[in-house]
Chain A
Amino acid sequence: AQSVAQPEDQVNVAEGNPLTVKCTYSVSGNPYLFWYVQYPNRGLQFLLKYITGDNLVKGSYGFEAEFNKSQTSFHLKKPSALVSDSALYFCAVRPKGSGNTGKLIFGQGTTLQVKP
């Protein structure tokens, strides 16, 4: 079965420190990879995506993610965290190939808490 794993329910980091939110996936082929962020009582906002090309992808708000094909991972990173980054983060994959309609398979989400 196709799945996405975010092994940490919560990540705590001090403001100004680097942050990493982990994501691994189990999907056949080379899927498209995404990160979304959800602030309280809001819908999901797109952060970044990996389609092809350079393994390091840069996105909104200073976030970046590194695609590692051998480890089937797509960890989200930011060099210097802000308190305003505190939110719920979702990793998602979109399997490619015939019969795949573009639906996203989401991880369970990781709550990022940045403390001043």
Chain B
Amino acid sequence: GAGVSQSPSNKVTEKGKDVELRCDPISGHTALYWYRQSLGQGLEFLIYFQGNSAPDKSGLPSDRFSAERTGGSVSTLTIQRTQQEDSAVYLCASSPVSGRSYNEQFFGPGTRLTVL
């Protein structure tokens, strides 16, 4: 079946602009994660959604970052007033909460964000 998809694959923006990054998880996966991969910081957890539970936002680096998940499926990560240090690859992952692949996170190809 289809894997996790993310769009756009690349995004170049100017400092101060807002950006939206989209993630389509694997159908039926109720858990969804956002991570950020940058040269200096490695892979960092940003936010986690699970069903109708309150999201775990503990990894969001500032209040310029927000995310939502509509209808328990597609998720959007929004970065307001982008800064150059926001430049990174943003990875989305989804996970089933039961079955053989329980505990495994399936990653999308990522969105490479460049802030000029």
B107-A45 in contact (CB<8A): yes
Task: List which A84-110 residues lie within 8 A (CB) of chain B.
Answer: 90, 92, 94, 101-109
Interface: A69 (CB within 8 A):
no
Closest-CB distance, B32 to chain A (whole angstroms): 10
A44-B103 in contact (CB<8A): no
Kindly list chain A residues whose C-beta atoms are within 8 Å of the C-beta of B31. Answer: 102
B91-A103 in contact (CB<8A): no
Kindly list chain B residues whose C-beta atoms are within 8 Å of the C-beta of A104. Answer: 33, 35, 43, 45, 105
Q: How far is the CA of A45 from the CA of B35 in the complex (A)?
A: 14
Q: How far is the CA of A102 from the CA of B42 in the complex (A)?
A: 18
B42-A107 in contact (CB<8A): yes
Kindly list chain B residues whose C-beta atoms are within 8 Å of the C-beta of A36. Answer: 107
Kindly list chain A residues whose C-beta atoms are within 8 Å of the C-beta of B103. Answer: 32, 49, 51, 94, 102
B104-A105 in contact (CB<8A): no
Interface: A43 (CB within 8 A):
yes
Write the residues of chain A forming the contact surface with B, with a CB cutoff of 8 angstroms: 32, 34, 36, 41-46, 49, 51, 90, 92, 94, 101-109
- 9 closest cross-chain pairs (CB), A and B: A106-B43, A43-B107, A44-B107, A103-B45, A101-B56, A43-B109, A108-B42, A101-B48, A43-B108
